[in-house]
Structure 1
């Protein structure tokens, strides 16, 4: 059902936690399945220096959150904004069709955190 990579990222997720005084925070959720993702960004000179996440949800939600953080760390904001759920699924080696919505949440969490960062910049 799940690839070895999905299981690895579920059982040993990377970048779990939160960043105090994060530059951007995004939270998204799916009431239908109960998954909630919160992503924290530390940005310096337009580069995502650090990223952490907290996810309440199934194994696929944890794995996609973890993979998404790995994919954007060290990237520019513009590069991170181009990450799609299909790219996250591909990096994980696939997901069962009924779990694709988890990858969509991971993409949305990235976008929400970047949007929060940008709104804070505009208000400074």
Structure 2
């Protein structure tokens, strides 16, 4: 029964990282500079999960962990704004400003999915706790 709680806990931790990543994407949807102050649009991030065999019960039943946080290689969205201070000065996109290629709808759907998964795992933990309590009351 404790391993079932460990599996759900691993999923809660993984989904928390996912929600933090999504909120970072939403917060930086209009960020046009990198950490150094150079004109470079924010690149969206996504979480990659991996099976965590160190947290398992029966064969085939394992926990989950964050394998990596990937940075998107999607091309920025270019908007023609020649008077903007961060407009590209020369080349193919002269006069355009590069904006992050992050879709709010996709981010919100991902956040909703992560929230539902989080809630489901809390439900599993509650059921596991109740089963343990009922088992102890039968024995006692």
Question: Does the alignment reach a TM-score above 0.5?
Answer: no
Task: State which structure, 1 or 2, has the greater radius of gyration over its C-alpha atoms.
Answer: 2
TM range (shorter): under 0.3
Task: Write 1 or 2 for the structure with the bigger share of helix.
Answer: 1
**If the length of structure 1 is used for normalisation, what is the TM-score?**
0.24
**If the length of structure 2 is used for normalisation, what is the TM-score?**
0.22
